[in-house]
Copies of this chain bind each other. A is one copy, B any other.
Amino acid sequence: MSNLFDQSLKVANCGLDSFASNLHEAGGDVNSLSWQPPAYGDVQAGLELASLINHPLVEQANQRAFAQYLDAQPVLVDVTTAVESIPAMAERKLILHAGPPIAWENMCGPVKGAIVGAIFLEGWATSQEQAERLILDGTVALAPCHHYQAVGPMAGIISPSMPVFVVENRPTGRRAYTNMNEGLGKVLRFGANSPEVIERLRWMGEELAPALSAALHMFGEVELKPLIAQALHMGDEVHNRNAAATGLLVKRLIPAMLGSGLPLDEVRRAIAFILGNDHFFLNLSMAASKVMMDAAANVPFSSMVTVMARNGVEFGVRLSGTGNQWFTARANPVEGLFFPGYGVDDAAADLGDSAITETAGLGGFAMASSPAIVKFVGGTPTDAIAHSLRMRSITLGGNGAFTLPAMNFAPTAAGIDARKVVDQNILPVINTGIAHKQAGVGQIGAGITTAPMPCFIEAIRALAAQVREHTGAAS
């Protein structure tokens, strides 16, 4: 101890800068570290986290999960109806929604409106009251899309008769399903359920889906990974901006659609619909991300995040190591730009399964690829690069298949490590649309939000318990 006072002082300061500056002024050799206690200072969580940092079980599991994610090859293989692809829908009246599980009475306006709309579409009820009764008496069951290998943007509603895209991970054969994008304005995914909305959904099943299906059978399967990679070089981040990706998809499918032998009028309407909606590719970007993340799922002890999803009230996260368990917390507010006439008081909470794109290293994580979008969500190209750079601190590595031109073609940061999120207090960034809190009003803005910290703390606790249990059992 006495030695300490004989040596010249070398200080590393954590905490308030003023401690360091006093020492510096007194002539001390001091380095100020940019450090905060992990988990926003939650000591218990910090200790749980400490048990997982550099733990060989977790490190190995993450390596495996991340490699499986990198190896995934999402391919658009088919267009079917939901009931054809999701067997549970044949057994009972089932409607899927975005995000983690939530009871009907707790759901937000847009999700409720969209579920009622899906009940109308299915012909199970003709009035709001009838529809609600079917839900409350259990005739119609509700469940998260993610429970059935599915994803949907915003309300994320998928009901049995809806057409779905089928995306397959080539190396494993595992599939994911997603509904088709309805365009902007009054649409089901923002909670609208008026006759025009139902009419459009019906048309999508009757004409659009057969046209897409015919095109796909003519063209063959569409590899989505190189298509997304190319779109990232054309200003998309394939979450809030899908203009280039939609164009690249169309380029493949239109000649095939025209050669399908379907009546010209039907083909014309299908093509005009797709070309009129720059977001059309979003659902495919989500399904591709879903199979990439499913490839990484269920590796015991892995702290890699495999799902981030929102139901309009809660944000839910799944880790690879903890399988199907959800860790939920209230969704964070969205910072962004509102369309004229709307403000933060009109906004629903963050909503939709589309954060699966960020989970896969796209969307907000690939913001640097999309300088043109930052004006839309509020910000500058420099902010966009800063977002992409910051995500490196909480991820397992880079995905060389998805490169960012504005960062000298650096790979996008991918494979969120829940440990790093909690350790660094850096939250995953998410690009998102903003829905009006009332059903059916639609999109009222767009912006940037983050995944809430408590999800990750809960996830770390569960993983630490799993590791403890295993180590206890093994010793």
| A441 CB, nearest partner CB in chain B, Å | 28
Closest A-B pairs by Cβ, 4 of them: A371-B405, A247-B247, A233-B372, A255-B272
* Other A-B pairs beyond A244-B247, A405-B406, 7, CB < 8 Å: A233-B372, A234-B243, A234-B244, A250-B250, A255-B272, A380-B408, A381-B406
Report whether A275 and B258 are in contact in the complex, using a CB–CB cutoff of 8 Å: no
Q: CA separation between A381 and B233, bound complex, in Å?
A: 12
The answer to whether A267 has its CB under 8 Å from any CB of chain B is: yes
What size tier do the contact residues of chain A reach?
A: 20 to 34
The answer to whether A400 has its CB under 8 Å from any CB of chain B is: no
Q: CA separation between A258 and B262, bound complex, in Å?
A: 13
The answer to whether A235 has its CB under 8 Å from any CB of chain B is: yes
The answer to whether A271 has its CB under 8 Å from any CB of chain B is: yes
The verdict on A247 contacting B251 (CB below 8 Å), with A264-B264, A406-B406 known, is yes
Q: CA separation between A244 and B243, bound complex, in Å?
A: 9
Main secondary structure of the interface of A (DSSP, over half): helix
| A255 CB, nearest partner CB in chain B, Å | 4
Interface residues of A in 214-237 (CB under 8 A from B): 233-235
Q: Which residues of the partner chain B approach A248 to less than 8 Å between Cβ atoms?
A: 247
Q: CA separation between A275 and B248, bound complex, in Å?
A: 10
| A265 CB, nearest partner CB in chain B, Å | 9
The answer to whether A128 has its CB under 8 Å from any CB of chain B is: no
Can you give 23 contacting A-B residue pairs, CB < 8 Å? A233-B372, A234-B372, A235-B244, A235-B405, A244-B244, A244-B247, A247-B247, A247-B250, A250-B250, A251-B275, A254-B254, A254-B271, A255-B268, A255-B275, A258-B264, A258-B271, A259-B268, A371-B409, A372-B405, A375-B409, A380-B408, A381-B405, A382-B408
Q: Which residues of the partner chain B approach A247 to less than 8 Å between Cβ atoms?
A: 244, 247-248, 250-251
Residues on A facing B (Cβ under 8 Å):
233-235, 243-244, 247-248, 250-251, 254-255, 258-259, 264, 267-268, 271-272, 275, 371-372, 375, 380-382, 405-406, 408-409
Q: Which residues of the partner chain B approach A250 to less than 8 Å between Cβ atoms?
A: 247, 250-251
Q: Which residues of the partner chain B approach A375 to less than 8 Å between Cβ atoms?
A: 409
Q: Which residues of the partner chain B approach A268 to less than 8 Å between Cβ atoms?
A: 255, 258-259
Residue of A248, A255, A259 contacting most chain B CB atoms (<10 Å)? A255
| A362 CB, nearest partner CB in chain B, Å | 17
- Closest residue of chain B to A382 (Cβ to Cβ) is B408
Report whether A254 and B275 are in contact in the complex, using a CB–CB cutoff of 8 Å: yes
Q: CA separation between A243 and B230, bound complex, in Å?
A: 11
Q: Which residues of the partner chain B approach A371 to less than 8 Å between Cβ atoms?
A: 233, 405-406, 409
| A81 CB, nearest partner CB in chain B, Å | 26
Q: CA separation between A264 and B271, bound complex, in Å?
A: 14
Q: CA separation between A248 and B272, bound complex, in Å?
A: 13
| A367 CB, nearest partner CB in chain B, Å | 12
Q: CA separation between A382 and B405, bound complex, in Å?
A: 10
